Amino acid sequence: MRQGALVAVVLFACLSLHAGAATVEEEVAQRAERLRQVEANREMDETWKFWSANKPQALPVLRRVLGEELARSPKSDLVLLDVGYFLVREGPEADKALARRALFAMNPQSKIARANFDQMFKFAKLAAEARDPGVLAFADRAFLRGDGQVTVAQHAMRLDPTMVCVFIYGAYGAGAEAHLLAKLGTRDVAIRVLEILAWIGTSESVAPVIRALEKRGDLDFYTRAMSVLMMHGGPAGRDALVRLDAAKLEAPARKKHEEMLGQFKKLDYAFMRKSFAAIADSAKLADDEVRSRLKSMYENDGRDDKTSPLALLESGVPSAELIAELVRIRSRMFRRLSDEALADVEVTNFLINALRYRPAP
């Protein structure tokens, strides 16, 4: 459950109670208090074991401890992180809002936070999945400018700083795109914002990205903006790039743009459909069946091993309805911390973009 070295600060002799020993409730509180004494690079495995083994008695105490910590000044980041994460993982639904408040009260740049970056990321991801609006501002402080990476051992995967952000903002879903677009004018985060939007954007990104591109025309910004526009913009993104005033770009970006213009102009529905036909069989589905499968995909965090993307693309369900459902499903895919989930997101993004090109019936 937890990673890292065992801490000698708290000795876990046994779980049984002896005559004259502290009550379980007292021991829970003492262990939470001793978190203040732990160095930033240590873990509290025994404390979690004790809390887990005595959960009915531990939860009310930890709830009280966390409430008291939130009222303290200064606060202990390790108490906020460790007790909060335990409550959000092991506590009832009623405890989760309190636990998230503890996360948002942390200093994500502290020594404690940096030493426990994986746990902070997982905690924030749970807050994003719960769609707690506070997680957006916290993610900005904790991850958007950061260099932290996360190892997902069970999938032999390592998330770089951009992908850390992708899973947080992506899991939050609706609202994250607009939140990020508002930061395109902030020079020190604009590149990363575009890298995230390349995974979680929609056609709503087209106009803001073009406006930003007209103000900042360096090659790094251009290549990432182009990716967002071509991946998510449909015909509107394509046409915006074709119409772009290249004179506003710096010379390297202008050269790249001129090289790409021919490719932009080739994009149409026939091109997109042909790309899908090369990797998927067409199996005609009734519209009711399409809707039923989309519902199942949402409920299963985007997992589906029987529906061809081409069948969705060629269904009779209106494009706007399909796009809306697929965007909702995409946000659920980010709940799965795996390469397989990212591959599903990529296919879904391509399908959504193809639907934007699909001719109206």
- Asked if residue 89 and residue 65 are part of one domain, the reply reads yes
- What does the pLDDT read at residue 75? 94
Q: Which of 212, 242, 267 is the last residue of a domain?
A: 267
- Asked if residue 306 and residue 256 are part of one domain, the reply reads no
Supply 276's token pair. Answer: 């899908």
Q: Which residue pairs, CB below 8 angstroms and at least 24 apart, start in 187-191?
A: 187/216, 188/145, 189/144, 189/145, 190/216, 190/221, 191/220, 191/221, 191/224
- Asked if residue 240 and residue 194 are part of one domain, the reply reads yes
- What does the pLDDT read at residue 282? 66
Supply 40's token pair. Answer: 């930033």
- Asked if residue 283 and residue 255 are part of one domain, the reply reads no
Domain that holds residue 54: 24-127
Residue 157 inside a domain? The answer is no
Q: Which of 58, 92, 127 is the last residue of a domain?
A: 127
In this structure, are residues 356 and 323 in contact, taking their beta carbons and an 8 Å threshold?
yes
Residue 162 inside a domain? The answer is no
Residue 177 inside a domain? The answer is no
- What does the pLDDT read at residue 12? 27
Task: Please tell me the distance from the alpha carbon of residue 71 to that of residue 59, in angstroms, as a whole number.
Answer: 19
- What does the pLDDT read at residue 361? 77
Residue 216 inside a domain? The answer is yes
Task: Please tell me the distance from the alpha carbon of residue 191 to that of residue 86, in angstroms, as a whole number.
Answer: 35
- What does the pLDDT read at residue 7? 24
The per-residue b/e assignment along 292-311, b for 16 or more CB within 10 angstroms, e otherwise, is ebbeebbeebbeeeebbbbb
- What does the pLDDT read at residue 154? 80
Residue 320 inside a domain? The answer is yes
Residue 246 inside a domain? The answer is yes
Residue 52 inside a domain? The answer is yes
- Asked if residue 320 and residue 253 are part of one domain, the reply reads no
- Asked if residue 290 and residue 263 are part of one domain, the reply reads no
> Which residues of the chain fall short of a pLDDT of 70?
1-22, 24-44, 279-282
Q: Which of 209, 235, 267 is the last residue of a domain?
A: 267
- Asked if residue 291 and residue 257 are part of one domain, the reply reads no
Q: What is the pTM of this model?
A: 0.88
Amino acid sitting at position 185: G
- What does the pLDDT read at residue 143? 98
Task: Please tell me the distance from the alpha carbon of residue 62 to that of residue 32, in angstroms, as a whole number.
Answer: 8
In this structure, are residues 12 and 46 in contact, taking their beta carbons and an 8 Å threshold?
yes
**Listed residue (301, 339, 329, 294) closest to 173, CA to CA:** 329
The per-residue b/e assignment along 173-205, b for 16 or more CB within 10 angstroms, e otherwise, is beebbebbbebbeeeebbbbbbbbbbbbbbbeb
Overall number of domains in the chain = 3
Residue 321 inside a domain? The answer is yes
